[in-house]
Amino acid sequence: MSEQQNAPLALTQLGDDERMFRGTVRQFAAERIAPLVREMDEAQQMDQGLVRQLFELGLMGIQVPEEYGGAGGSFFEAVLAVEEISAVDPSVGVLVDVQNTLCVNALARWATEEQKRRWLPRLAADTVGAYALSEASSGSDAFALQTRAVRRGDDYVLNGQKLWITNAKEAGLFVVFATVDPAAGYKGITAFLVEKGAAGFSLGRKEDKLGIRASSTCELVFQDCVVPGNQVLGEVGKGYKIAIETLNEGRIGIGAQMLGLAAGAWGHAAKWAKERKQFGKALVEFQAMQFQLAEMATEIEAARLMVYNAARLKDEGLDFLKEAAMCKYLASHVAERVASLAVEVFGGAGFVKDYPVEKLYRDAKIGKIYEGTSFIQLATIAKLVL
C-alpha cells in the first residue's frame, strides 16, 4: 500500500456506518425529541417514554459489547450521538452522555465478569446509570470527598452525601465513590456499584437549575447503606484511577454536548436570519449578519475538529488527555458565545421561550462547570504543555 493510502481520513469524514448512525440519531432527535423540549424544560422532567425510546434505539448502550446485549459501537459513535441529540436538547444529551461515557465506560473497563453479566445488559436495555463523585465540600478538589465506606464482614457500609448527581431521578444504578480510609488520602477512594432501592440509600433534594432543566440533578444520601463486597468496582483504594480515567473520557462527551448545542443554536439563527425581514430585506442579506454567522460557523468547525480528534484518538488507543481537556474547554466557550449571539440574531424573539435559542443560551452555561470547570481544564492543559 502506498503511503498516501495509509494517510488518515479527514477528521470530519465519516465512515458509512458512522454516517448511517448519525442520520438515524439526527432523525430521531428531530422527530421524537424536538416536540418534547419545551414541555420537559418547563416541567423540569425527562419524558419517560423518551427514555424508553433511547434504550430501544440502542443509544443507552452504544459501547456495550454485543455479547452483553449492547450495540458494540465505538466511542466516536457515542460522541456523535451526544452531539446530534444536544443540537436539539442538551438535557437529553447529558442523559445519554453520562450513561455512555461515564457509567458504561467505567463498567466495561473495570467490572468483574460477574458484574458485567449482571449490569451491562441492563444498562443497554432499561437501566439508567448515574455517576456520583461530587460532594458539598469536594467539587474541583474531588478527591477530598468524605463519604465513608467501612468494611463489615463481606460487605461495606456507606455513610455520607453526594451532591449534583445527574440522572439521579431516572437511574437504577449508581457508580458511587467513597473512601475506605480518609487518612490514606486519594489512595482510600473506592468505587461501588449501588442499586436504586438499596436499604439506607435515598435521593435528597432535586436542584432547580438555570439550564438543562429536564436533566435531573439530585443529592444522594447514604445512611448505613450496606453494599455487598462483590459490588466494589475495580480494586479497593483504586477508585481515584477510575474517576480520573472516566472523567478524562467524559470530557470529550461534554465537548460533544457543547458542540451539538452550538450547532443547534447556529442552525436556528441562520434560519431566522433568512426568514426575518427588516429594512425591506432578509437579515441575512446584511453583510454584518453574514459575517456574524460565518464567524460562528468557523468557531463551531474548530470545536468539531477538536472533539472528533479527541474521540478518534481515544478509539485508536492513543494519548488523548490534552486533547480531551482542550476540546471541552473550547467547545463550552464556543457554545456559550454562539448561543448568546443566536439570541441576538433573533432580537426580541430570542429573549422569549416561544423560540428555542433562549433555552440553548441557558443550557450553554453548564459546559464550563461540570466534569471539571474551565479553570480545571486549563490547569490540566498547562501541566501537559508547559
Ligand X SMILES: Cc1cc2nc3c(=O)[nH]c(=O)nc-3n(C[C@H](O)[C@H](O)[C@H](O)COP(=O)(O)OP(=O)(O)OC[C@H]3O[C@@H](n4cnc5c(N)ncnc54)[C@H](O)[C@@H]3O)c2cc1C
By beta-carbon proximity to ligand X, the closer residue of 246 and 309 is 246
By beta-carbon proximity to ligand X, the closer residue of 80 and 168 is 168
By beta-carbon proximity to ligand X, the closer residue of 68 and 329 is 329
**DSSP for 246-280, written as a single string:** HHHHHHHHHHHHHHHHHHHHHHHHHHHHHH-EETT
Closest C-alpha to 167, from 215, 208, 125: 215
Q: Does 96 bind ligand X (CB under 6 A)?
A: no
Residues 264, 304, 370, 380: which binds ligand X (CB under 6 A)? 370
Q: Which residues pair with 178 in a beta bridge?
A: 190
Kindly provide the b/e burial profile for residues 214-229, where b requires at least 16 CB atoms within 10 angstroms of the residue's own CB: bbbbbbbbbeebebee
Considering the complex, what minimum distance in angstroms separates the CB of residue 131 from ligand X?
Answer: 5
Residues 99, 232, 366, 367: which binds ligand X (CB under 6 A)? 366
Q: Which residue is nearest to ligand X (CB)?
A: 139
Q: Does 375 bind ligand X (CB under 6 A)?
A: yes
* Residue 80 to residue 65: CA distance in whole angstroms: 18
Q: Considering only 7-15, 146-154, 344-352, 366-374, which stretch makes contact with ligand X by CB under 6 A?
A: 366-374
Quote the DSSP letter at residue 327.
H
* Residue 189 to residue 183: CA distance in whole angstroms: 11
Total residues at the site for ligand X (CB under 6 A)? 20
Catalytic residue, candidates 135, 170, 323, 371: 371
By beta-carbon proximity to ligand X, the closer residue of 194 and 345 is 194
Considering the complex, what minimum distance in angstroms separates the CB of residue 249 from ligand X?
Answer: 14
Q: Does 373 bind ligand X (CB under 6 A)?
A: yes
By beta-carbon proximity to ligand X, the closer residue of 345 and 371 is 371
Considering the complex, what minimum distance in angstroms separates the CB of residue 165 from ligand X?
Answer: 5
* Residue 119 to residue 384: CA distance in whole angstroms: 36
Q: Does 291 bind ligand X (CB under 6 A)?
A: no
216 backbone dihedrals φ, ψ, rounded to 5°: -75, 140
Give, in order, the Cα–Cα distances in Å from 305 to each of 13, 141, 302: 11, 30, 5
Measured from the Cβ of residue 183, the count of other Cβ atoms closer than 10 Å reads 7
Residues 108-167 that bind ligand X (CB under 6 A): 131-134, 139-140, 164-166
168 backbone dihedrals φ, ψ, rounded to 5°: -55, -40
* Residue 90 to residue 260: CA distance in whole angstroms: 8
By beta-carbon proximity to ligand X, the closer residue of 32 and 148 is 148
Considering the complex, what minimum distance in angstroms separates the CB of residue 109 from ligand X?
Answer: 18
* Residue 252 to residue 255: CA distance in whole angstroms: 5
Considering the complex, what minimum distance in angstroms separates the CB of residue 211 from ligand X?
Answer: 8
Residues 186-245 that bind ligand X (CB under 6 A): 209, 217
131 backbone dihedrals φ, ψ, rounded to 5°: -130, 110
By beta-carbon proximity to ligand X, the closer residue of 37 and 366 is 366
String marking each residue 45-84 x if it binds ligand X according to CB under 6 A: ----------------------------------------
Q: Are strands 128-132 and 171-179 parallel, antiparallel or unpaired?
A: parallel
Considering the complex, what minimum distance in angstroms separates the CB of residue 317 from ligand X?
Answer: 26
- Whether 371 is a known active-site residue: answer yes
Which residue type does 223 have? Q
Give residue for cell 422569549: 352
Site residues (vs ligand X, CB under 6 A): 98, 131-134, 139-140, 164-166, 209, 217, 366, 369-373, 375-376
Q: Which of the residues are catalytic?
A: 371
